Structure 1
């Protein structure tokens, strides 16, 4: 992803940039050409405040209190009060990678100069990223409009030297971390508090991490599906490109190509591929099901890419026209709908994988030893991992219920429709974790199934996955404790070592 400094201008940030900053600690800087826009917008807001011009959040209260005028001499107190009163989140803190993504996205939005933020405040957020000061942001409390008010306020109070942060591996008072880093708390000027907390950086930060993981996980789903296909002596005809060209959904075509690449030169398919006319849907329809989820992810990626480089504040400042316009760019509905779709799409990947896992352990359907163990009865084999997969996909069915279809009024009905976009993103991460676990179970079972076809080799890609797995996960002749094996596969999926081993022989999967 590169080690050079990323210059933020509000226009060109990409998903992979977010990951490099969030996970790898890549440094960021403000694009010099954008700084003038920031200073012009900030200067205009300060002028309006001195003139007592009526502008929401500058010389008025917030939400249902917007009709109350706030005199200029109380401007700094107004912004500080906004941060402290809105920092009311509950629940576990977000992991540091998500906090870093949130900070990055807020900076990238504010650098456009339409929010009235000062260069000093914006630079301090950059300091937080580059020094590694990560505010403690509770994961619960956002309704997704006006943006992520609550979580972003926890970021805002850190600028004031309040609240808590993670710094150098420890959770501590923000004031202590600032002293250790040689930084002073800042004083927020007119509108700066509102610029900090009125936007979608929270939900978009969570969504970005989830999306990045999902793009790799769907490749792993093709690998696990191909392993099951071969372990079950599946029929290759369903992956013939002529079939998929007649229904040219891109995801479907890509998955079929992946399966063909993974099973290329399979001795197992060469011997057994003509035994049946067709397979059960969980094998035969891998391209159609996995492919539809991939197409859904493409939609999600398109939405998130737009949101990454959007201005989601209110009101927006237009210095060239000398205007402040109140609007609704803070509303998280685009992200909420996309991430609800994300959850449904990923849950389906888990659903079909669990069905393949169930087929692998059912000796009547698979033609393999019951529960994939040679001496069943005294040994239960891989009976219970399928139970676990069933539990996980059932959990996902509840989590996949769209949160965006529910809205609850807030702020005395002034903010009477909200997106619930943060929860759409958060539960998307939960679904993703469950799907990874289901795929790990499928891979565990499919590898055991492939052993029963020896000395025949599977295809080049499935063989690479199998051999990488067998470096740490052995063939089981009798019962043993299985959870460490599942955890090992999960970890190898997270570090992408299985995927890398496969792509070394197949080329990059689509």
Structure 2
């Protein structure tokens, strides 16, 4: 794998997702980022020498920010910061998510705001390259920095806590480091806070949500276009002139993608459409999928600002050579953007289930009821609709906004939260059900296309979609269990293998 050079400014959701999916990602800071890191450490060293009070450097944390630390206490306080806050709880986060957070933290260290020893960044690079991932559990962040998750990660790097090696084996951090030929990371002043106090988990989760949602939206466009062919839908709702009458964000992109998928197929022939006006699940595809694309771009902007931004408090201002307290760790916009994307995907999922029901209804399609093969003693895809509605319920539940309230932390000093990581985790859970729904539509649409007899007149793009669907799920001639086929197709959709992007 080619090394992903991080400059603290240009990491994308897609690049982060690709690197985090690799057990041993080759990731490192570029030259200017390393220079900023070293320069920031020099600012911190001068601040210490001056004796000025700097939050978390020579003072306590939270409600104890007014307490000064002696010179002898500074390095020990870094370790104490991690030990006292490594409180993640619940199911372990997937290694992919933790790797993504490590990459985000490495990237944001390159901004030069953290002021940690450059050895911290070098150790993150080494652990990533050797496939060593701290075991961090999903519960513990309220989105006002990911303090407890970051501390859990940092504690593993110093040889306490647990690490997962490149084979997936979990063990005590000191043992796993020793087996990899590494000594635990030694901490200096400020280093413990730099490892703990940041929003890298929130940013990583949001970025992974965005990257995966982009793939899912591409796939649902393909499944919907195949449904349009099987239904013999009217193409007038895709007319650019009609759409221009109300230029809703995203709808032109959605309509153009559908037109491109259908281009050169039989549905473009005069008289191919069977109805003057189709049900809304077909007729409002540009508006509903367009809302998904618009929400995706908003979430992408929010996530990429986070994974390239310094969420450190206090933060080093390199241009001014000073350290300032701030609230950059607070993530309300990230929460709102993730929630909006989830709600938009829920709208898309509702239309998807409605389209599937129409494809199974003889009175709407003129095809055999439930798309059962003529003469077969079969209920066709009727039972699949129960699965579709169960999945839709999961989508709609996961799309609910997260709760926010005045926080009661730090004796009233830390009195606000965002729950951004929960919003992003809910989005990822939503996508697990959403991708299965897309697989269901693709399988049903493929059956409709073949029963209609129009498989040979599909556009080249949709012909490829049909072929890839059939690699996972043959045509339904008689009743058989379909769950494994739907699951396999869902995995292909998640991996972007349904067809080329459209």
Unaligned runs of 5+ in 1: 501-507
Asked if the contact 1:59–1:71 (Cα under 8 Å) also holds between the matched residues in 2, the reply is: yes
Counterpart Cα distance in 2 of 1:421 and 1:348: 21
Residue matched to 1:130: 129
Indicate if the aligned counterparts of 1:336 and 1:420 stay in contact, CA closer than 8 A: yes
> 1:269: Cα distance to partner?
5.7
Q: Which residue of 1 aligns with 2:414?
A: 415
Q: Do the aligned residues in 2 keep the contact of 1:235 with 1:269 (CA within 8 Å)?
A: no
Q: Cα offset for 1:406?
A: 4.6
Root-mean-square deviation (Å): 2.0
Aligned partners of 1:233 and 1:269 also within 8 Å: no
Matched position secondary structure for 2:241: helix
C-alpha separation in 2, matches of 1:376 and 1:162:
67
User: Is contact 1:46-1:189 (8 Å) kept?
Assistant: no
- Tell whether the 8 Å contact from 1:407 to 1:420 is kept in structure 2 after alignment: no
CA distance in 1, matches of 2:105, 2:412: 27
Q: How many residues align?
A: 499
Corresponding residue number in structure 1 for 2:251: 252
Distance in structure 2 (CA, Å) of the matches to 1:343 and 1:204 = 16
Extract unaligned runs of 5+ from structure 2. Answer: none
- Deviation sequence 1:22-51 (CA, Å, 0-9, x none): 123441222223333322322332343355
Tell me how far apart the structure 1 counterparts of residues 179 and 6 of structure 2 sit (CA, whole Å): 27
Q: CA deviation at 1:405?
A: 4.4
Which position in structure 2 is the counterpart of 1:208? 207
Q: Secondary structure at the match of 2:456?
A: coil
Superposed displacement of residue 248, structure 1: 2.9
The yes-or-no answer on 1:151 pairing with 2:149 is yes
Which range is displaced more, 371-380 or 449-458? 371-380
Aligned match of 1:493 = 493
2:3 corresponds in structure 1 to 5
Query: Contact (CA 8 Å) 2:88, 2:137: kept in 1 or not?
Result: yes
Distance 2:83 2:376 in 1: 63
Which whole-Å deviations, capped at 9, do the CAs of 1:28-87 have from their partners, x for residues lacking one? 222223333322322332343355432211122211222222222111222111111211
Q: Compute the TM-score of the two structures, normalised by the length of structure 2.
A: 0.94
Contact in 1 for aligned 2:85/2:148 (Cα 8 Å): yes
Q: Aligned partners of 1:456, 1:34: CA distance in 2, in Å?
A: 54
Q: 1:166 to 1:94 in 2, by over 3 A?
A: same
Structure 2 matches for 1:253-402, cutoff 5 A?
253-267=252-266, 270=269, 273-374=272-373, 378-402=377-401
**Runs of at least 4 residues of structure 1 off by over 4 A?**
375-378, 404-407
Question: What are the equivalent positions in structure 2 for 1:103-118 lying under 5 Å apart?
Answer: 103-118=102-117
Query: Equivalent of 1:21, from 15, 19, 22?
Result: 19
Deviation at 1:279, TM superposition (A): 0.4
CA distance, structure 2, for counterparts of residue 272 and residue 474 of structure 1:
30
With normalisation by structure 1, the TM-score equals 0.93
SS of the equivalent of 2:170 reads strand
1:483 aligns with 2:488: no
Assess if the C-alpha contact under 8 Å between 2:367 and 2:452 holds in 1.
Answer: no
The aligned counterpart of 2:445 is 446
| Whole-angstrom distance in 2 between the partners of 1:466 and 1:31 | 44
The answer to whether the 8 Å contact 1:41/1:319 transfers is yes
Q: Secondary structure at the match of 1:452?
A: helix
